[in-house]
Chain A
Amino acid sequence: MVTHAKAVFINVELMEFKRVVITGMGALTPLGNTVDEYWNGLINGVSGAAPITQFDASKFRTRFACEVKNFEPTNFLDKKEARKIDRFSQFALVASDQAMADAGLNKENINPDRIGVVLGSGIGGLITFQNEVMDFAKGDGTPRFNPFFIPKMILDIAAGQVSMRHNLRGPNYAVTSACASSTNAMIDAINLLRLGKADIIVTGGSEAVISEAGVGGFNAMKAMSERNDDPAAACQQTL
Chain B
Amino acid sequence: MSDIASRVKKIIVDKLGVDEAEVTTEASFTNDLGADSLDTVELIMEFEKEFNISIPDEQAETITTVGQAVSYLEEHAK
Which A positions have Cβ atoms within 8 angstroms of B?
Answer: 78-81, 144, 146-148, 151
Q: Which residues of A contact B45 (CB under 8 A)?
A: 144, 146-147
Select one of A80, A146, A148, A151 contacting B17, CB under 8 A. Answer: A80
Pair A147/B38 contact, Cβ less than 8 Å = yes
B27 at the interface (CB under 8 A from A): no
* Chain B residue with Cβ nearest A142: B54
Pair A146/B42 contact, Cβ less than 8 Å = yes
15 further contact pairs, Cβ within 8 A, besides A80-B17, A81-B17, A144-B45: A78-B17, A79-B17, A80-B15, A80-B16, A144-B48, A144-B49, A146-B42, A146-B45, A147-B38, A147-B41, A147-B42, A147-B45, A148-B38, A148-B42, A151-B38
Which B positions have Cβ atoms within 8 angstroms of A?
Answer: 15-17, 38, 41-42, 45, 48-49
* Chain A residue with Cβ nearest B48: A144
CA distance A166 to B45 in the complex (A): 31
Distance in Å from the Cβ of A237 to the closest Cβ of chain B? 49
Q: Which residues of A contact B42 (CB under 8 A)?
A: 146-148
CA distance A79 to B14 in the complex (A): 9
Q: Which residues of A contact B48 (CB under 8 A)?
A: 144
Distance in Å from the Cβ of A64 to the closest Cβ of chain B? 35
Distance in Å from the Cβ of B48 to the closest Cβ of chain A? 8
Distance in Å from the Cβ of B24 to the closest Cβ of chain A? 19
CA distance A126 to B78 in the complex (A): 36
